[in-house]
Structure formats: structure tokens, C-alpha cells
Amino acid sequence: MHMRTWHAAALLILALSSALSAAFASSSRAQADGVRGLDGVWIYVEDRTEGRALEDQQSSMGAKVTLRVEEAAVCLVRSDGEIRMALDGSPTEISREGSTSRYSGTWKEGAFHYQSEPVSEPGKPTRGAIRWVLRPTADGLLAGVETDSGWKSIALYRHAEDIPLPTPAKATIGELAWLAGAWVGTRGTSGTTSIEERWCPPLGGAMLAVSRTVSRGKLSAFEYLRIVERDGGLVYVAQPGGRAPTEFVLTELGTNRAVFENPRHDSPQRIVYELSTDGGLCASIGYTKGGRPTRFEFKRETE
């Protein structure tokens, strides 16, 4: 009788051990699958912060976020370097330009939670922590951020290939003849920055242009531009600094207004040209939805 009881207990312990092992393995697989959902390049789509006015909408982590999932870690890839955060919560310290920030992150409840905080000198309080929550969903990546001051924001990001392209408007290059000419202006309160765009007339199904920005007497930026006919519509092609081209399709055309969009690009996603009633030209760049576009005011150059 005693041997039978011991044998039954041993079998029960073995069964419980197997069940716990299976549950742990299943949990680990679920976590690994969830974390893998963070991987890739994410493009800002829309602000989902409750109650935020359309003109105040913005991204929560910038226009583009690049994440690389490694063994037991998530790596945030930025233009100024990479930040590798272990999933077990152990901290990583990153020093840049004389300051140091401490990063730490964990995966819990279907999301990656991480925070950064400045590392202060001994004896001084630490302030300015920022906390993020990155949650993969069927709709994309929801990226939430909260600061010690109480500011909160949440935005939706998607992989470029998952963002629908806009419906092109029908048009010919001749309908943009009003854009031709040399357009010049200034920026900044002191007017020390000059801007210009020089568009040639429509010919051969295209218009070509060059843009130049000069700050305090020195060239600070330039761009090659063109608008070409394609498939019954128009495509705006930009090459800032002579880099690889980025295309924006014409989505709206009025008598003196043209709108070009590419929601799969990080920034800008929307370019608008519009003639003003006084004969000037306004060019603006921004997101496809919400926010405050950056405006450039030009006047036609006179001989």
C-alpha cells in the first residue's frame, strides 16, 4: 500500500513538472513571438492621443522608428547610434555629448515597456524620465510615451508596405504651367536665410527645378526636383542633397493649387504648392493627416 502511494505521488509530481515545463515553454514562445512583432522599420501614420486637436497632432517617437529584435533584447536604431535594451530589465547606459542616460526595458502584457532617465551626479536627484510602451497590434505598432511632467502621446506606426497608397488624380503637366518661374524668399526672423526654387516651363511631359537654401552667406541645402507625367497623372520627384529620389503622387489639383502625397515616406508625407492672391507662391510640407505643416513663402523674382 505504501509503495503504491509513493508511486502515485511520483507520477503526479512528474506530471506537474511536465505541465509546468510545457507552460513555461509556451509562455516563452508567446513572448518571443510577441517581441518579434516589434522588428523592422516603422512609419508614422496617425496620432491617436485622445482629445488632441487635428492641428496639434504629431508622432510620439518621430516620423520613423527602427527596431531590431535580438536574442533576449530589443535594439533601438537611431541616427546617432544604437541602444540595446535587454528584456530582463537590466540597465544600459548611453553617453552622448557630455551627458549620460540610462535605458531599461521589459516585455510584459503583450508590449515592450522601456524608459530612459538622465544619470545625475552622486547626491543629486534624477529627473526627466521618459517612459514608452510599444505594442504590436493587427493594425500596426502603437507607440505610447509619457514624461515625468505628465505629457502623454500615443501614435500608430506601420511598415511602409502596409500603408495604403493614395488615389492619384488625373492631370497633365500643362496644368501646372502656373508653377513655372524663379521663386525667391527668406526665412527666419532676421531674414538671414534665403530660399529659392526655379521651375522651368512644362515641356516633354515634365517640369524640372532646383532648390537652394543659403544661410548667412553659405549654402546650407539644395535639392533637385521634377514633376513628370505617368499613367495619366503627375509624380513629384525630390532629391534633397542629390540623394536617391523619393516620389509623391498628385492627389489634388485646382486652378492654382497642387497636392502631392506619399504616406509611406517618413517626412514629409505631403507637399502642397499654392498661388496666393497677390501672385506669390506658398509651398508647405507636413504629414498626410494632422499637424502643423512647415510653410515657405516665395515671391516671383523680377529682372
pLDDT (tens digit per residue) in 208-266: 999 999 999 999 999 999 999 999 999 999 999 999 999 999 999 999 999 999 999 99
User: Grid cell 493614395 — which residue?
Assistant: 166
Q: Strand, coil or helix: what is 54?
A: helix
Alpha helices in the chain (DSSP H): 2-36
CA angle 12, 14, 19 (to 5 degrees): 95
CATH architecture assigned to 173-300: Beta Barrel (2.40)
Q: Measure the CA dihedral 114/116/121/124, to 10°.
A: -80
% of the chain at pLDDT higher than 70: 86
Q: What is the pLDDT of residue 32?
A: 56
Q: Which residue has the higher pLDDT, 80 or 175?
A: 175
Q: Is the dihedral of CA 261, 262, 266, 267 positive or negative?
A: negative
Structure confidence at residue 2 as a pLDDT band (50, 70, 90)? low
Q: Strand, coil or helix: what is 129?
A: coil
pLDDT at 5 over 70: no
Pairwise CA distance, residues 281 & 250, whole Å:
18
Pairwise CA distance, residues 93 & 98, whole Å:
13
From 115, 164, 142, 144, select the one nearest 37 (Cα to Cα).
Answer: 142
116-120, 213-217, 219-223, 270-274: the lowest-pLDDT one: 116-120
Pairwise CA distance, residues 162 & 65, whole Å:
15
pLDDT at 207 over 60: yes
Mean per-residue pLDDT of the chain: 89
Structure confidence at residue 61 as a pLDDT band (50, 70, 90)? very high
Structure confidence at residue 125 as a pLDDT band (50, 70, 90)? low
Q: Which cell is 93 given?
A: 547606459
Residue ranges covered by each domain of the chain: 40-162, 173-300
% of the chain at pLDDT higher than 90: 78
Phi, psi of 175 (to 5 degrees): -75, -5
Average pLDDT over residues 108-137: 86
Q: What is the pLDDT of residue 11?
A: 45
pLDDT at 30 over 80: no
Average pLDDT over residues 129-133: 95
- Strands 246-253 and 233-240, by their bridges, are antiparallel
pLDDT at 186 over 50: yes
Q: What is the pLDDT of residue 303?
A: 65
Average pLDDT over residues 177-199: 92
Q: What is the pLDDT of residue 215?
A: 94
Q: Which cell is 164 given?
A: 495604403
**ω into 122 cis (within 30 of 0):** no
Across-strand partners of 108?
111
Q: What is the pLDDT of residue 156?
A: 98
Average pLDDT over residues 273-278: 94
Give the amino acid at 197. E
pLDDT at 17 over 70: no
The CATH code for residues 40-162 is 2.40.128.20
Average pLDDT over residues 156-183: 98
- Please check whether the two domains, 40-162 and 173-300, share a CATH topology: yes
Across-strand partners of 103?
92, 116
Q: What is the pLDDT of residue 19?
A: 41
Give the amino acid at 106. T
Structure confidence at residue 35 as a pLDDT band (50, 70, 90)? very high
Q: What is the pLDDT of residue 128?
A: 84
